[in-house]
Amino acid sequence: MLLHDTALIYGRYLRQSLRSRFALLFGVLTPLLYLLFFGPLLTGLPLGGGGSSWQVLVPGLLLQLGLFGALFAGFAIIIEKGQGVVERMRVTPVSRLALLLGRVLRDATVFVFQAVLLVLAALVMGLRAPLAGILIGFLFVALLTLALASLSYAIAMKVSTPQQFGPMINAVSMPSMLLSGLMLPMTLAPAWLDVLSHFVPFRYLVDAVRDAYVGAYTSTHMLYGALVAVVFAALAVTAGTRVFRTAGA
């Protein structure tokens, strides 16, 4: 029953995304601009970690894609509430968990597709990374999307207008981007900033994907990153499902 309901919701929202091909491509525009205009500035700089500048930058851009895209996914719920779509779904026998999973799995599919486009562009520009590392990066993007989209939908169910939702998400997204080392490794930062960044879970994911891109699959960073990603996704989906049940999605 749960699988069937999830597939129905997933298919409904995936078809919506496929009908908006421009939005699919536009979503990767910001990371692509960073790749084109910021990446060449890093060439030759001693960034540490044993990899090239592309092996440092591209993992950060992949997770930036999931971070910003998934966090703002809740805007769709606010629109649907205003149109009465959420209210109509409340009276169906569809599982509340399926209502959430169908949405976040669609989001994960979209952002992994965009991540593939970004990596292809990076390969053209000079990125060299093992295939296994690239695939691990896509997996981390999917897990991050599942977690953040779940939280985004949960928050959106609790607010009434985009004017309330937007500032809340910005208050989370900007510090997360700055303290997780998406653009540059936090080991280059002052000691106090490096210590502070360890309280931001996204840092562990960024460090893990960077290790994957240089073939260090059994490193401490990889272990911590995998644990944080899985636990964070599980907790976020649980919290999101609880909100959907109590708020009535």
Task: Tell me if the pTM is above 0.75.
Answer: yes
Structure tokens at 63: 């997770």
Query: Mean pLDDT for each consecutive 10-residue tract of the chain (249 residues)?
Result: 84 84 74 82 62 85 89 87 74 76 92 91 90 96 95 90 88 87 83 90 94 94 96 94 73
Q: What's the confidence (pLDDT) of residue 50?
A: 55
Q: SS in 3 state form for the chain? A: CHHHHHHHHHHHHHHHHHCCHHHHHHCCHHHHHHHHHCHHHHCCCCCCCCCCHHHHHHHHHHHHHHHHHHHHHHHHHHHHHHHCHHHHHHCCCCCHHHHHHHHHHHHHHHHHHHHHHHHHHHHHHCCCCCHHHHHHHHHHHHHHHHHHHHHHHHHHHHCCCHHHHHHHHHHHHHHHHHHCCCCCCHHHCCHHHHHHHCCCHHHHHHHHHHHHHCCCCCCHHHHHHHHHHHHHHHHHHHHHHHHHHHHCC
